[in-house]
Amino acid sequence: MQHKAPSSPQGFVVQPRRLPKAAADLRVQDFGEIIVKPTKANVETQAGRCTDCGVPFCQNACPLQNNIPDWLGLSAEDEMREAWRIASATSTMPEICGRICPQDRLCEGSCTLNQSGWEAVTIGSVEAFIGDTAFDNGWVEPIRPLHERGQSVAIIGAGPAGLAAADRLREQGYAVTVYDRHDRPGGLLIYGIPGFKLEKRVVQRRIDRLIDGGVTFVSNCNVGVDVTLDELRERHDAVLLAMGVYQARGLSVPGGGPGDTVAALDYLIHQNRRDLEDPEQADWHHARGRRVVVVGGGDTAMDCVRTAIRQGAESVVCLYRRDRENMPGSAREVTNAEEEGVRFEWLGAPKALLSQKGEITAVRAARMALSEPVFGQRREIVPVPGGDFDLPADLVIEALGFEPEAFADHHPDLALTDWNTVKVARSGFATSLPGVFAAGDAVRGASLVVWAVRDGQDAAAEIDRFLRSQSQEAAA
Ligand SMILES: Cc1cc2nc3c(=O)[nH]c(=O)nc-3n(C[C@H](O)[C@H](O)[C@H](O)COP(=O)(O)OP(=O)(O)OC[C@H]3O[C@@H](n4cnc5c(N)ncnc54)[C@H](O)[C@@H]3O)c2cc1C
Ligand code: SF4
């Protein structure tokens, strides 16, 4: 809805929100980012919409507590270098969070303009612009520690938690080695999140900066197989576990056999590898010309349906057992998917996979209904008698969420929570193993990039304190 521009109480003309988003029919033609780089004029106008309301709800809703009103004000005045200085003080990757945070649930969801009937300032887009401008102008400082501390840290996992910790620890002068079982650093930033949300070059320039600053990356190293946790504890003065959560929940319905369905992350990895121009492999999944059903209602499911659309699927349906209001995925992503041609089958639970001559032909689903609301409880879903229906399909993608892998296998004394995530001290990141810390999804369960960044930064500060006390003890 378009607002007529009225005057704010301060007398300023309030401009409407304008997010520079590519039109759906154009953006589905490739895997480029759908939020395109705003013009300087757009940034100045949008940043200038901030009313500097005095109570920075946006800042409080940001997991990094970013000083949003200050860098908005500076951007509105074209003081971009100073805006960058402030934005980068609290975040090791502003240009990445600005692109992929679910802002509608975080900073922008709390913007005062929303509360007063206006649409929020485009905080994420401005933040990404500040970061991109800093890279383009060479303002992103290289990591050059004042002195080398002579102590080393192993980080297991090169996702956002590991990268954020590596950044901060290297700045403090520690020798940092990041071990990852993938062939490239980046974790889900590279191999999970599709290019239409976050282009790979944006992640790569962050990794390049770390390499240039002296961080060592050891790829294709599966800790627990190629090297043990105890061996890393021997080699390094501290260890950070930042391995994320990767055990995919699977469908448990009759019909179909091994290989008949595709795990969401495998599907996304194959497309991400194409974007990275890896040589095409025969076993990579592709949706071209196929009728695709994606089962699940989270952000991973949204990434799969939108990838299938871009690959040229004949039809794409998202099957989710609850209704729109109760789905875990971000409302913004559902809107994007609908604009791009995805059909949502709400209140439908998979019941069986149907095949002919060994090929999947359809997903049989039960029609569900929500139980009556009970205060303080999530509404149950119950099948509607006689409501079964079939969705024609020749590619079924399972996007039912992730659980931790068997972290306990790394060490018998590594304590876990009831949810099998790594257990850390109540106020911090220390695990039950001396000198071993943990951060990101491995601790929280499947979460968000911005929380992984926050954890990585804070864990680095705790590791720094731990190592300083170790060296003081050694000196005493
Ligand atoms: C498809 C998808 C889309 C998403 N989209 C968004 C989004 O738009 N916005 C958002 O905020 N969040 C999103 N998320 C969530 C976000 O990506 C994660 O919360 C975040 O990446 C967690 O960071 P991390 O560093 O803890 O773990 P990860 O990014 O998972 O990185 C962990 C790393 O550890 C490595 N590793 C694991 N085990 C071992 C081992 N034994 N030895 C060596 N290396 C190991 C892995 O290879 C990986 O590189 C998405 C998640 C998925 C799956
Ligand atoms: S980090 Fe995320 S929540 Fe914080 S200001 Fe940036 S986009 Fe908003």
pLDDT in tens, 135-161: 999 999 999 999 999 999 999 999 999
Q: Which of 60, 70, 104, 106 to mutate to test the pocket of ligand 2 (most atoms within 8 A of CB)?
A: 106
User: How many Cβ atoms from other residues are within 10 Å of residue 281's Cβ?
Assistant: 9
The model's confidence at residue 8, banded by pLDDT at 50, 70 and 90, is very low
> What does the pLDDT look like over 456-471, one tens digit per residue?
999 999 999 999 998 8
Digit-coded pLDDT (tens) for 52-97: 888 889 999 999 999 999 999 999 999 999 999 999 999 999 999 9
Give, using CA atoms, the residue closest to atom 6 of ligand 2: 98
Going by pLDDT thresholds of 50, 70 and 90, the confidence category of residue 117 is: confident
pLDDT score of 13 more than 60:
no
Q: What distance in angstroms lies between residue 113's CA and the mean position of ligand 2's atoms?
A: 16
User: Which of 225, 449, 453 for mutating ligand 1's site (highest number of atoms within 8 Å of CB)?
Assistant: 449
User: What number is the average pLDDT over the span 347-358?
Assistant: 93
Ligand nearest the Cα atom of residue 451: 1
pLDDT of residue 145: 97
pLDDT at residue number 174: 98
3-state helix vs strand vs coil in the chain, percent to 5: 35, 15, 45
Q: For position 236, what pLDDT does the model report?
A: 98
* Ligand 1 centroid to residue 250 C-alpha, Å: 18
| Contact 330 CB / ligand 1 (< 6 Å) | no
- 35 close to ligand 1 (CB < 6 Angstrom): no
Residue type, 255: G
**pLDDT tier, 11 (very low <50, low <70, confident <90, very high otherwise):** very low
Nearest CA to ligand 2 atom 3: 62
Distance, CA 237 to ligand 1 centroid (Å)? 25
Mutate to test the pocket of ligand 2, among 60, 107, 122, 126 (most ligand atoms within 8 A of CB): 107
- pLDDT for res 162: 98
Residue from 103, 105, 197 whose mutation best tests the ligand 2 pocket (most atoms within 8 A of CB) = 103
- Contact residues for 308 (Cβ-Cβ < 8 A; gap 6+): 287, 290, 292, 294, 316, 395, 397
Q: What is the pLDDT of residue 432?
A: 97
Across the range 2-14, mean pLDDT stands at 43
pLDDT at residue number 55:
86
Task: Note the pTM of the prediction, 2 decimals.
Answer: 0.95
pLDDT band of residue 372 (cuts 50, 70, 90) is: confident
* Pocket of ligand 1 contains residue 400 by CB under 6 Å: no
Probe ligand 2: pick from 35, 58, 60, 62, max atoms within 8 Å of CB? Answer: 62
**Separation of alpha carbons 208 and 212, rounded Å:** 6
What's the pLDDT score for residue 342?
98
At 224, is the pLDDT very low, low, confident or very high (cuts 50, 70, 90)? very high
Q: What is the pLDDT of residue 260?
A: 81
Per-residue pLDDT for 9 more than 50?
A: no
DSSP letters of 307-375? Answer: HHHHHT-SEEEEE-SS-GGG-SS-HHHHHHHHHTTPEEE-SEEEEEEEEETTEEEEEEEEEEEEPPP-T
Residues of the chain above pLDDT 70, percent: 97
Ligand closest to 299 (CA) is: 1
Which phi-psi region, left, alpha or beta, contains residue 303 (left: φ > 0; alpha: ψ -120 to 50)? alpha
Q: How many other C-beta atoms can be found within 10 angstroms of the C-beta atom of residue 182?
A: 17
**Which pLDDT does position 285 carry in this prediction?**
95
At 7 the three-state DSSP class reads strand
As a whole number, the mean pLDDT across the chain is: 93
**What distance lies between CA 363 and its chain's CA centroid?**
29
Q: What is the pLDDT of residue 211?
A: 98
180-200: pLDDT as tens digits? 999 999 999 999 999 999 999
Q: What is the Å distance from ligand 1's center to 152 Cα?
A: 24
| Amino acid in position 144 | R
The whole-number average pLDDT for the span 358-373 is 92
In the chain, how long is the greatest CA-to-CA distance?
77
Give distance in angstroms: CA of 101 to centre of ligand 2: 6
- pLDDT grade for 472, boundaries at 50, 70 and 90: confident
Gap from CA of 455 to ligand 2 centroid (Å): 15
Report how many helices (DSSP H) and strands (DSSP E) the chain contains, helices first.
Answer: 17, 16
Q: Residue 5's pLDDT band (boundaries 50, 70, 90)?
A: very low
Instruction: Tell me: pLDDT of 1 over 50.
Output: no
pLDDT at 244: 98
- Residue 6 pLDDT greater than 60, yes or no: no
Helices (H), 28-122: 40-48, 57-61, 68-76, 80-90, 94-100, 112-115
pLDDT at 81: 98
Q: Is the CB of 158 under 6 A from ligand 1?
A: yes
State in Å: Cα 96 to ligand 1 middle: 14
Q: Of all protein residues, whose CA lies closest to atom 8 belonging to ligand 2?
A: 107
- What percent of the chain lies above the pLDDT cut of 90? 84
Read off the pLDDT of residues 284-333 as tens digits, 9 standing for 90 and up.
999 999 999 999 999 999 999 999 999 999 999 999 999 998 888 888 99
CA of 265 to the centre of ligand 1 (A): 11
Give residue-wise pLDDT tens across range 205-216: 999 999 999 999
Question: Strand 247-248 relative to strand 402-403: parallel, antiparallel, unpaired?
Answer: antiparallel
Ligand closest to Cα of 93 equals 2
What pLDDT score does 373 carry? 81
Digit-coded pLDDT (tens) for 395-452:
999 999 999 999 999 999 999 999 999 999 988 999 999 999 999 999 999 999 999 9
Q: How far is the CA of 451 from the centre of ligand 2 (A)?
A: 10
C-beta 240 within 6 A of ligand 1:
no
